[in-house]
Amino acid sequence: MKVVNPLTAIFHPPPTPGVLAVFGQLDAAVDAMPRHELEDALDQPVSPVRMFTLVGGIAGCAVGAWLTLYMSYDWPVVVGGKPVGSIPPYVVIMFEMTILFGALSTILGIAFNALFAARRLGTVAYDARFTNDKFGIFVPSEPARASQVESLLRGAGAEEVRRA
C-alpha cells in the first residue's frame, strides 16, 4: 500500500476542479475582506475557534493555580505573615496565565481551522487581484457541467470566468 505523507495534504493539497469567476462589484460575488453579510447569507455555523479559546483559558487558569500553589507548598516559607498558599496574590498569576494560554490557543485555533484544515479539503483556484479590488466565486463542479456554471456566473455579472 502506498504511504501518503500527511503533510503533503496540508502543504500541497490537490486542486479541486471547478469554475472561478472574477467580479468587480461586491453585490455580485464573494471575497477580498471580511463581510459579515456574506457570512449571514451563507448561514455557516459559528467557527470552532471559540472552543480553542475556552479550553486554552481554562487550562491557563489551572496552570497558574498549580504553579503558584505547588511552588509555595514545595518549600513552605512564610512571607509577610501570610498563609503559605495565599490565594489573593496568586489570582494575579492565574489571570495572566488565563489570558496567555487563551490567546495562544486562539492562534492555534485560527491556524488549525483557517490555514490547515481548510486546505486539507483541497485548493480552490485563486487570482492575485482578490486581495486588491476584485471579488471571486469558485464553484466546484464536474467538467461536464462546467459550461452551465460558466453561463450562470456570466449572467450574474462576472467580468471574467475561467475553468480550474
Interface residues with another protein (CB under 8 A) are 24-28, 30-36, 38-39, 42, 44, 46-50, 52-53, 57, 67-68, 71-72, 74-75, 77, 79-80, 82, 86, 89-90, 92-93, 95-97, 99-100, 102-104, 106-107, 109-111, 113-115, 118-119, 124, 126, 128-133, 157
Please tell me the distance from the alpha carbon of residue 149 to that of residue 4, in angstroms, as a whole number.
33
- The neighbouring-strand residues paired with 20 are 138, 162
Min. distance of Cβ 80 from another protein in angstroms? 6
* CA count, 13 A, side-chain hemisphere, 125: 18
Min. distance of Cβ 104 from another protein in angstroms? 7
Min. distance of Cβ 1 from another protein in angstroms? 29
Closest by CA position to 56, among listed 115, 104, 95: 104
Min. distance of Cβ 53 from another protein in angstroms? 4
Sequence-distant (6+) residues with CB within 8 A of 37 are none
